[in-house]
Amino acid sequence: MSTAIKLEKVSKAYEIGQIGSGTLSRDIERWFVTKVLGKEDPFLKLGERNIRDQKGDSNIVWSLRDIDLEIKQGDRLGIIGKNGAGKSTLLKLLSRVTSITSGEIKIRGKVASLLEVGTGFHRDLTGRENVYLNGAILGMRKKEIDRKLDEIVSFSGVERYIDTPVKRYSSGMYVRLAFAVAAHLDSDILIVDEVLAVGDLEFQHKCLNKMEDVATQGRTVLFVSHNMASVKELCTTGIVLRDGMVDYSGDVVGAIQHYTSEALDLDIGAASAGAHGWVRICGMNGQREIKVLNTESFEVIADLSLADNIERIDIQCIMENAEGAQVVHNRDSGLERLSAGIHRVSAEIPEMYLRPGVYTLYFKLIAETEEGSFVRHLSDRLIIDISDDTEIFSGKVSATILPPVEWNVDSNFYEFSTLQHKRLDQSRDS
């Protein structure tokens, strides 16, 4: 398959602090040094890495540094990384919103990028007028919108209000309409920044489905999200960005594993994690992804490395769905008196009749040391791919838990209770 996007040594530098380089005199100095003397820009120091929490000595920050990347046609690439790792910058460069500092990007095919839903919507215009305006902003021709208008409106589900100014819309309707326009762009490459963070769960699900449709049509999808489950559900390959560089590139499960094991110390704070150990979880056979029916239980293993003796440790097991909502939180399991060293703990997670889909599972540990101080820990994330064996409702329900319910019929109940029968008749008459 041919290459859809190729990045060669792409870098992007930002100036931080003041607007521009600050002053006119500095601009002149810069112009003089670079253009007249032909030297390197003194305000761009090479080789400085973009590390958010460390202060650099220049006010130039390399948001992306020498990125080499090849994305094949039909790839569904998930881009993950910490805040400030350069994910959004990469998308901005690809969608030509901002220019690159050095390197080259080659693209084959039409790009549609969705860095925000509803860009350019005007409050006073009606839904219909905004569909045209927004479509044109995203690069659609008027004829194209004419042709797709009905489809867009019915996807959005706001038919009734289509001739009402959007300022009267609820924020949910607004987002629905906006996403509907974007979802109907004809493009070879679709770039999506975390737009799913808005809208209700049902609609988020609809968006994910729509993007999967796009991907299965052989189009290339680039997707940025902090939500590992939705990245897993949508993408086949993944890259992890770290401090403006590609830290990992490969299949999506590997990328998520790489990122979550690295992000361990992010949530808690590096100091406590380093001093008190770590947790790694996996399935019974060491696998990083568990495929299971929603009527089955499954087992997970965690390797717990403790630096200190622990008086008591509280293990909470949390599962998140593809929309990032916590759906399971178990908090009764506790272990007492563990000595320093590595322990393997295993747990059986009972069948929970969850709606089929991709979930992530992680442990939250709260340990109390012998000195009485508390240490909090998060484990890395395990992917739980849950499917349904009944297939009756799958895909049609938006509920989270689909427990089996058994019905009992007692046809003789009223025959023996004539008194109740009469009461029923009376209430019907009145």
Residues contributing to the site for another protein (CB under 8 A): 2-3, 6, 14-15, 19-20, 24, 27, 92-93, 95-111, 113, 115-116, 119-120, 122, 124-125, 129, 132-133, 136-142, 165
For residue 137, what are its two tokens? 């902003």
- Give the shortest CB-367-to-another protein separation in angstroms: 44
Q: Which of residues 17 and 403 has its CB atom nearest to another protein in the complex? A: 17
Is 107 or 266 the residue whose CB approaches another protein more closely?
Answer: 107
Q: CA distances (Å), 15 to each of 2, 25, 45, 59, 333, in order?
A: 36, 17, 11, 6, 50
Q: Which is nearer to another protein, 12 or 377 (CB)?
A: 12
Closest to 260 (Cα-Cα) out of 365, 375, 362? 362
Minimum gap (Å) between residue 74 Cβ and another protein? 15
Nearer to another protein, 111 or 358 (CB): 111
Is the Cβ–Cβ distance between 317 and 365 less than 8 Å? no
Least distance in angstroms from the C-beta of 146 to another protein? 11
- Beta pairing partners, 280: 303
Q: In angstroms, what CA-CA distances link 60 with 17, 27, 44, 216?
A: 9, 14, 6, 41
Select 68 or 299, whichever has its Cβ closest to another protein.
68
User: How many angstroms separate the CA atoms of 155 and 173, rounded?
Assistant: 11
Minimum CB separation from another protein for residue 226, in Å?
A: 19
Token look-up 């902090």 returns 226
Nearest distance in Å: CB 369, another protein = 47
CA 165 to chain centre: 31
- Nearest CB to another protein, comparing residues 76 and 92: 92
Q: Burial level of 171, CB count in 10 A (0-12/13-18/19+)? A: exposed
Smallest CA-to-CA distance from 356 within 397, 317, 319, 415 is with 397
> CA 266, CA 362: separation in Å to the nearest integer?
14
Least distance (Å) from another protein to the CB of residue 201?
25
